[in-house]
Amino acid sequence: MSTKLAVPVSAKTIKTAKQQIEAANQVGADIIELRVDYLENLDITAVKNLIAAVKNSGNSSVLVTCRDDREGGTGHHSIDLRMNVFAEAVQSGVDFIDLEFQNYKQQNIRRKIKPLLDSNPKTRLILSAHDFERKFQNISDLYTETKNCEPDAVPKLVYTANHINDCFEVFDLLHNSKDDVITFCMGEAGLISRVLAVKLGGFLTFASLNIKSATAPGQLTATELKELYRFDSINDKIELFGVIGSPVAHSASPAVFNTCFEKEKMNRLYLPLLVEDGQREFDIFLNNILKRTWLNFKGFSVTIPHKHNALDYAKNRGGFVEPLAERIGAANTIVINENGKINLYNTDCAGAMEAITENMKIERKDLRNVPVAVVGAGGVARAVVVGLTDVGAGVKIYNRTVQKAERLAKEFDCECAGLDDLPNLNAKLLINCTSLGMYPDIKCTPVLKEYLSSDMVVFDTVYNPAQTLLLKEAKKIGAKTIDGLSMFVNQAAAQFKLFTNKVPDRALMRKVVSQKLSQP
Ligand code: NAP
């Protein structure tokens, strides 16, 4: 049976609750959860009223929850009132009630609720347990305990993931349980569990109407779940991809890849994968993925701070590393092949080189002996310097930390200087590979306008915003400009080809990134 979309209604007043019920129907909720503990004037009449409102408004099932404050509820409602609410809900024939397992274990509560449920078989009990701080000591024991206590109930086991690696116990439970179960992780690190619950056959997943009406940390909105994460297309066979990085919350890649998967009608899904900094964190994450082949992960984009960690991981585990990635010292793409082995690539270099050649309407060989100024000496600068020196361009590297520029220049046999040498700039092509000018510091520029000239081509790898101050000033004096979106789209298109063996619609990719960047 497919996973249901449950949308909570969490309003202080009946009027607002009714508006939320309407909105929940509009976003296609399968289940409307009445979080009646949010009501300021909670009484039985209000509960009856809202149950009737859901039943009369559409085809959604009704779930009534009156959460205990100790498990994330609001309102300090007495236990007697809460039990009366549940009794009313069952007698009204709602589809589900959600009661805390800790409370249900108490004889007096159980004695009141169980006979009601026995005589109203339409209503199913959800027995829930929450930990807002950390993962449960042993989720599978907790699952067994709830099933032993009430075999017909649906266990709902939810905890906060402090790291993405905390999610894997939830995945194992979903994978191994034959009966209905609701389980996922709260918090940003738990986001993927709310989506993968759908792939792994969870009984339901929650999504809010909007960020304000979310009832738990990290809850996605129903629109995000449906439009960005392809809720209606997710099935148990779907192949998974994602971007590994920290931070990843604002990455444009999920929107770009999922839009292309949707357009090509591919059974694939792309997720943001927040893996905290550190080789150890990265290794644990990838080990967790690779040993669970049933998750069906097939590839990853890799971004800051893991591009080098990916390389070390592959080298230590006999993975294939493309020679270009080895020379750059960073990989931004991982492909998991049929045998579960990993192959690493770097598409940043090709992405930058194509941005240059396409926009300048030249071939790579035409860059031979062209004087190029590369500003920056970090990861992107390395990829750019490798691409340029391979075709024999005359590269000079400028960097704030001169020692880093010197190391890079020595490795690839080019010139270097500190940023204080920029007044003597003498280049046909200038490439910004620093983060200067990137949102939110959009008033910054790596090269003052006085040092630019109209016969220069100015390429900014920063793509948020697409029109940086550097590019605006270059344009003003008549220089040709290349924006970072071209590089972003090219490197993403090359990844798409590595992931799927198909060429994506690059114009669509560019449109999606531009739209994503224009959102607040
Ligand atoms: P990185 O390895 O951290 O390198 C950052 C570079 O920026 C270093 O050279 C650093 O100089 C310099 N820098 C940082 N803050 C500075 C400041 N206040 N003043 C002067 N220099 C400063 O980062 P990266 O991976 O190379 O990424 C750099 C930028 O490339 C990103 O911010 C992003 O906008 C862009 N990018 C674009 C794409 C694309 O597809 N278009 C892809 C990836 C990245 P020091 O060595 O002195 O610290």
pLDDT, tens only, 154-171: 999 999 999 999 999 999
Calculate the alpha carbon distances from 203 to 39, 179, 184, 195 in Å. 27, 9, 11, 12
Nearest CA to ligand 1 atom 29: 435
User: What is the distance between the alpha carbons of residues 96 and 65, in angstroms, rounded to a whole number?
Assistant: 9
Tokens of 140: 């599978």
CB 197 within 8 A of CB 205: yes
User: What is the distance between the alpha carbons of residues 157 and 128, in angstroms, rounded to a whole number?
Assistant: 6
- Confidence (pLDDT) at 297: 98
4, 307, 396, 516: the catalytic one is: 307
Is the pLDDT at 520 greater than 70? The verdict is no
**Number of the ligand 1 atom closest to the C-alpha atom of 488:** 40
Could you tell me the distance, in angstroms and rounded to a whole number, from the CA of residue 146 to the centre of ligand 1? 51
Chain centroid offset of residue 215 CA:
19
4 is catalytic: no
Nearest CA to ligand 1 atom 32: 435
Closest CA to 418 of 435, 401, 437: 401
Tokens of 477: 């004096």
Helix (H) or strand (E) holding 90: helix 79-91
- Mean predicted confidence (pLDDT) in 139-162: 97
The pick from 374, 400, 509 for probing ligand 1's pocket by mutation, whose C-beta has the most ligand atoms within 8 angstroms, reads 400
Domain boundary among 192, 214, 235: 235
- Mean predicted confidence (pLDDT) in 272-296: 96
- Confidence (pLDDT) at 227: 95
Could you tell me if 332 and 366 lie in one domain? Answer: no
Q: Answer yes or no: is the C-beta of 488 below 6 A from any ligand 1 atom.
A: yes
Structural domain range at position 398: 349-482
CB 214 within 8 A of CB 208: yes
Which strands sit side by side in the sheet containing 371-375, from one edge to the other? 415-418, 394-399, 371-375, 429-432, 457-460, 480-482
Neighbours of 212 (CB within 10 A): 8
Could you tell me if 176 and 54 lie in one domain? Answer: yes
Closest CA to 9 of 36, 43, 28, 30: 36
- Confidence (pLDDT) at 75: 87
Structural domains in the chain (count) = 3
Domain boundary among 203, 235, 267: 235
Considering Cα of 13, then 15, then 17, then 23, what sign does the dihedral take? negative
CATH of the domain at 135: 3.20.20.70
Could you tell me if 213 and 119 lie in one domain? Answer: yes
Q: Answer yes or no: is the C-beta of 468 below 6 A from any ligand 1 atom.
A: no
- Confidence (pLDDT) at 28: 95
Question: pLDDT tens, 82-133?
Answer: 999 999 999 999 999 999 999 999 999 999 999 999 999 999 999 999 999 9
Question: pLDDT tens, 202-226?
Answer: 999 999 998 777 777 788 999 999 9
Question: pLDDT tens, 492-511?
Answer: 999 999 999 999 999 999 99
Question: Which amino acid makes up residue 229?
Answer: Y
Chain centroid offset of residue 438 CA:
21
User: What is the distance between the alpha carbons of residues 374 and 426, in angstroms, rounded to a whole number?
Assistant: 12
Closest CA to 11 of 37, 51, 38, 33: 38
* Exposure letters 44-77 (e unless 16+ CB within 10 A, then b): eebbeebbebbbeeeebbbbbbbbbeebbbebeb
Tokens of 81: 């009132």
Q: Answer yes or no: is the C-beta of 459 below 6 A from any ligand 1 atom.
A: no
Closest CA to 83 of 102, 62, 104: 104
Could you tell me if 135 and 36 lie in one domain? Answer: yes
Tokens of 180: 């209905």
Could you tell me if 310 and 230 lie in one domain? Answer: no
Could you tell me if 342 and 354 lie in one domain? Answer: no
Place of tokens 């800790």: 102
- Mean predicted confidence (pLDDT) in 163-190: 97
Q: Answer yes or no: is the C-beta of 433 below 6 A from any ligand 1 atom.
A: yes
**DSSP class of 424:** G
Nearest CA to ligand 1 atom 35: 462
CATH of the domain at 498: 3.40.50.10860
- Confidence (pLDDT) at 212: 77
Could you tell me if 227 and 274 lie in one domain? Answer: no
**Average pLDDT of every residue of the chain:** 96
Could you tell me if 34 and 23 lie in one domain? Answer: yes
Could you tell me if 386 and 431 lie in one domain? Answer: yes
Q: Answer yes or no: is the C-beta of 304 below 6 A from any ligand 1 atom.
A: yes
User: What is the distance between the alpha carbons of residues 201 and 184, in angstroms, rounded to a whole number?
Assistant: 12
Domain boundary among 235, 262, 288: 235
Helix (H) or strand (E) holding 23: helix 14-26
Is the pLDDT at 355 greater than 90? The verdict is yes
- Confidence (pLDDT) at 15: 97
Beta-bridge partners for 467? none
Could you tell me if 304 and 353 lie in one domain? Answer: no
User: What is the distance between the alpha carbons of residues 415 and 385, in angstroms, rounded to a whole number?
Assistant: 11
Question: Where in 251-405 does DSSP place strands (E)?
Answer: 268-274, 297-302, 320-321, 333-336, 342-345, 371-375, 394-399
Could you tell me if 205 and 320 lie in one domain? Answer: no
- The answer for residues whose C-beta is within 8 angstroms of residue 353's C-beta and 6 or more apart is 364, 387, 388, 391
Percent of the chain with pLDDT over 70: 100
Question: Which amino acid makes up residue 208?
Answer: S
Q: Answer yes or no: is the C-beta of 332 below 6 A from any ligand 1 atom.
A: no
Is the pLDDT at 518 greater than 80? The verdict is no
Could you tell me if 105 and 189 lie in one domain? Answer: yes
Could you tell me the distance, in angstroms and rounded to a whole number, from the CA of residue 488 to the centre of ligand 1? 14
**DSSP class of 420:** G
CB 136 within 8 A of CB 129: yes
Beta-bridge partners for 35? 65
Calculate the alpha carbon distances from 168 to 285, 290, 301, 402, 405 in Å. 9, 12, 20, 43, 41
Question: pLDDT tens, 2-54?
Answer: 999 999 999 999 999 999 999 999 999 999 999 999 999 999 999 999 999 99
Full-model pTM: 0.94
User: What is the distance between the alpha carbons of residues 94 and 54, in angstroms, rounded to a whole number?
Assistant: 10
User: What is the distance between the alpha carbons of residues 159 and 135, in angstroms, rounded to a whole number?
Assistant: 5
Q: How far apart are the first and last CA of the chain?
A: 37
- The answer for residues whose C-beta is within 8 angstroms of residue 155's C-beta and 6 or more apart is 101, 126, 127, 128, 129, 142, 143, 146, 147, 181, 182, 183
